[in-house]
Amino acid sequence: MKCIIYLRVSTKEQAQTNDKEGYSIAAQRKACVAYVRNEGWELIDEYVDRGESARSIHRPQLREMLSHIQKEKDIDAVVVHKLDRFSRNVEDHVTIKAILKRANCQLVSVVEKIEDTAQGRFMEGIYAAMAQFYSDNLGAEVTKGMLEKVKQGGWPHQAPLGYKNVREGTRNIAIVVLDPDTAPYVKQAFELYATGNYSLDDIRDFFFDKGVRNRNGTPGPLALDTIRNIFNNPFFYGTIRYRGAEYPGEHKPLISRQLWEKVQVQLDDRRAGVRQRKHPHYLKGSLYCGECGGRLSFQLAKGKYPYFFCLNKQKSKNRDCQSKYVDVAYVEEEVEKIYRDIQLSKETAAGLIERFNEELISKQSSNAMEEKFLAKRIGKLADERMSTLRAYQAKAIPLDLLKQEQDRIASEMSHAESRLEVIHAQLDQLRAVLDRGIAVASRCGMGYKKAKSQKRKLYNQAFFDKIIVKDGKVKVEYTDLFHALLSESSNKTSLVGLAGLEPATGRL
């Protein structure tokens, strides 16, 4: 009887070691060869996938083996150490078994004694289903472990450019430390871009000149999206952003929070179409034409007379726009006046804090009920998962229904766990946003007046979605947070809709 041995390990480390549990290539080969000799079979060849997952049928050596069996039809059996070395996906297992069956080839496991009978095939299906359950559960546990590491300040992925992954201590704990080869260049890139005098293309050229290349080994420069992601990542000032929430990191910050925020201003300006040229102004990017809705830009007539003008009108995008040039000093004074008018008095601020605290307490009670419900739901889903597996083992449901139910349960459990994580952090973040917003609004009049240009720009971005100029008058549209705090109907404002707010005043 002619046979082939198929061996697989899921990690590169296992491929290079002899582990005591018998999952290394050498341990599997030894067991399989001994089995073949004991049976008196003829060993034709072996196929080995090193560091390949069993979750997919698209493993190179597996595909090559199946191709040989289909074409030559000269193999009577494929010998594996355990079925979970062969597949951890029920659908793939059934597919591969069908290919082998058409070639009159059987699958043999050294560990699981599978007979070619109805009972034997039933037991094989159970082994395959259990392997998939183990794989799915392992994935969920890995995700849970990664989240726990992040909550403790660790980083579960490859370190960003400027850092590197190392292991330290007797427990060989994985940590992230500054990379002396690239960290200085990343920090300098932040400093350069924050000035507003450099584009992303300039920063890409800067990295390339310093010898910083793509990590995939190609000799080309960093992609612009890569650089943009670096600039957007709070990791560099010490904060870890993971699955929509932020956690304090244990790694050493490369830059200050203030420098990162300056870079965000430049990124926002670029996205808004504000190009940094000869004439920067802190109102650029916030001003809009009340006639056509176009953006207002800044110019110096004859190099000394400043004014704002509608870009749409200048570029003939809207020939009906009747807007006129607007004196810069007038707009600056009007915006200053708006800040004086909207500044919250001590009594108003205290009333807002009291009202929002009452609603936060109410929402906290609602969240507690939802947490209790979600915890019960997760427990019920875990029971359902085991019940469906037992039903399959008792022949109460077919294999395809088992897979369908397991997929549904895994999806619902993942959704419930994600929602649970969100509501845990939701109220604390919301309270911090509101407290910061009220504090800033309570001193915005004097604060804006004393602020320098860069700080004024931050004020305007935090408070206003738009500053609109029409017929010589200036009006504003607030951001969501400050609309809730400052609008005339703020005494009726609900926190519904604010729960997902980022702290808009965080840069002030």
Flag whether 248 is in a domain: yes
Q: Are residues 88 and 167 in the same domain?
A: no
* Range scoring the smallest mean pLDDT among 93-97, 239-243, 306-310, 365-369: 365-369
Among 224, 245, 275, which residue terminates a domain? 275
In a domain, 301, yes or no: no
> Are 37 and 61 within one domain?
yes
Residues 14 and 126 in one domain: yes
Give, in order, the Cα–Cα distances in Å from 94 to each of 19, 118, 127, 170, 337. 30, 15, 12, 45, 73
The CATH number for 223's domain is 3.90.1750.20
How many domains is the chain partitioned into structurally?
A: 2
Mean local confidence (pLDDT), 176-183: 88
- CA 261, 262, 268, 270 torsion-angle sign: negative
Q: How many CA atoms lie within 13 A of 437 on its CB side?
A: 26
In this structure, the number of other CB atoms found within 10 A of the CB of residue 92 comes to 20
- 426: in domain: no
The pLDDT of residue 330 is 93
Residue whose C-alpha is closest to residue 323's, from 478, 473, 460, 466: 473
Tell me which amino acid residue 471 is: D
User: Residue 494's pLDDT is what?
Assistant: 43
In a domain, 108, yes or no: yes
Element (H, E) at 306: strand 305-310
Residue 210 to residue 102: CA distance in whole angstroms: 59
Can you tell me the mean pLDDT for 412-416? 81
Residue 355 CA neighbour count, 13 Å, CB half: 15
Q: Are residue 256 and residue 217 in the same domain, yes or no?
A: yes
Q: How far is CA 284 from CA 138, 192, 211, 310, 458, in A?
A: 52, 20, 35, 12, 12
Asked whether residue 6 falls in the same domain as residue 140, the answer is yes
At 78, is the pLDDT very low, low, confident or very high (cuts 50, 70, 90)? very high
Which pair of structure tokens corresponds to residue 116? 């070619």
Whether residues 170 and 115 fall in one domain: no
Task: Tell me if 123 is assigned to some domain.
Answer: yes
Rounded to whole angstroms, the Cα distance separating 493 from 425 reads: 22
Checking if the pLDDT of 3 tops 70, the result is: yes
Query: Are 259 and 142 contained in the same domain?
Result: no
b (16+ CB within 10 A) / e for 467-506? bbbeeeebebebbebbbbbbeeebeebebeebeebebbbb
Same domain? For 268 and 175 the reply is yes
Task: Examine residue 443 and state whether it is found in any structural domain, yes or no.
Answer: no
Domain ends where: 275, 306, 322?
Answer: 275
My answer on whether 25 and 112 are in the same domain is yes
Question: In this structure, is residue 13 part of a structural domain?
Answer: yes
Among the ranges given (81-85, 146-150, 451-455), the one the predictor scored with the smallest mean pLDDT: 146-150
134 and 16 part of one domain: yes
pLDDT value for 50: 78
Q: Spell out where 139-223 has E strands.
A: 163-168, 173-178
Q: Which residue among 275, 309, 343 closes a domain?
A: 275
Contact indicator for 267, 232 with CB cutoff of 8 Å:
yes
Q: Whole-angstrom Cα distance, residue 257 to residue 235?
A: 10
Instruction: Check whether residue 201 and residue 134 sit in a common domain.
Output: no
- 196 shares its domain with 247: yes
pLDDT of residue 116: 61
CATH of the domain at 103: 3.40.50.1390
Is 136 within a domain? yes
Residue 425 CA, chain-centre distance (Å), reads 17
Mean pLDDT of 326-343: 92
Count of helices and strands (H, E) across the chain = 17, 14
195: containing domain: 162-275
Which range has highest mean pLDDT (152-156, 203-207, 464-468)?
464-468
